Structure 1
Amino acid sequence: MTGVWVLVGTVVIATVAGLVWRANQGRVRTVEPSGTPGKTDGGLPADVRAALDPDAHVTLVQLSTTFCAPCRHTRVLLSDLAGRTDGLAHHEIDLTHKPELAGALRVSRTPTTLAVASDGRELLRIGGVPKRDTLLDALRPHLSHP
């Protein structure tokens, strides 16, 4: 009988963990103005600063690894979105051989996408594959300049 309870408990814990993971997948997090976790341009690593498009209001910096299947899906989605949206650019950085960059940006999984303003402020952060409409809605206030 104890084995049955252990099995039931394991299934319940796994289900709850799966639901929590799924709820956080592709969620857009707004970065506080204090710069946490991103900072101003001076606080961004050089690789990220180099990725910023000076002609765009916002650059989506995708942090990926070589063998990440969701990263390929994210690349297609973000490059298409950037191609169809004025003031938006997309650049991908491969973290496979840059673990120090992942540490500096506090990235624990790939893909992670940073939405960075032209002045170097991190605006948004998305862990996992973003949801296109949710991301576009979150970016709209940063793309429309008077």
Structure 2
Amino acid sequence: MAGVWVLGGTLVLGVLAGIVLTTRDGRIRRGMNQPQGTAPPESVADALVPGMVTLVQLSTTFCAPCRQARAVLARVAETTDGLAHVEIDVAERPEVAEALRVLRTPTTIVYDAGGAELLRIGGVPKTAALRDALAPHARPTE
């Protein structure tokens, strides 16, 4: 009988953990608290598009959600003025993930034209939520 209780408890914990992880996926957080004027790491600064808000996607080649995130980010960048999308493979450049304190892929970090971090998204972003979060910084193409 104790085995049934252990199995039931394990199933309940597994379902709860799945719910928590699902609700956190794609959540948009404001940029990390950086001192004013702090530039992104050099390895990322080289990838930023001058004069534009840049969506920097950190991904790996073997990550299925990374392909979904790439499609969402590319679509949003194509339909928004002043917005660019750049992808960095952290399997090839692990120093980037370390410098940015990224623990999972896909992670998207949004930088303004001056290189300040605006937003950070873990997982596949939701298109509508991303557009809303970017609204103060970039305008949809008309």
- Once the two structures are TM-superposed, the CA of residue 40 in structure 1 deviates from its matched residue by 4.4
Q: Does 1:63 align with 2:62?
A: no
TM-score by length of 2: 0.91
Q: How does 1:1-146 map to 2 (within 5 A)?
A: 1-32=1-32, 34-35=33-34, 40-42=37-39, 44-56=40-52, 58-143=53-138
Structure 1's unaligned 5+ residue stretches are none
| 1:37-81 C-alpha deviation (Å, 9 max, x unpaired) | xx8453x1122101111131x100000111111111111111111
Larger helix percent:
1
| 1:72-121 C-alpha deviation (Å, 9 max, x unpaired) | 11111111110110111100001012222211111111000001001111
Aligned length: 139
CA distance in 1, matches of 2:37, 2:7: 49
Change beyond 3 A, Cα 1:97–1:120: same
CA distance in 2, matches of 1:92, 1:68: 13
Identity level (%): 55
Change beyond 3 A, Cα 1:6–1:86: same
Runs of 4+ with deviation above 3 angstroms:
none
**Further displaced range: 17-26 or 45-54:** 45-54
Change beyond 3 A, Cα 1:62–1:24: same
- The one-letter amino acid paired with 1:87 is G
TM-score by length of 1: 0.89
- Alpha carbon RMSD of aligned pairs, Å? 1.6
- The one-letter amino acid paired with 1:55 is G
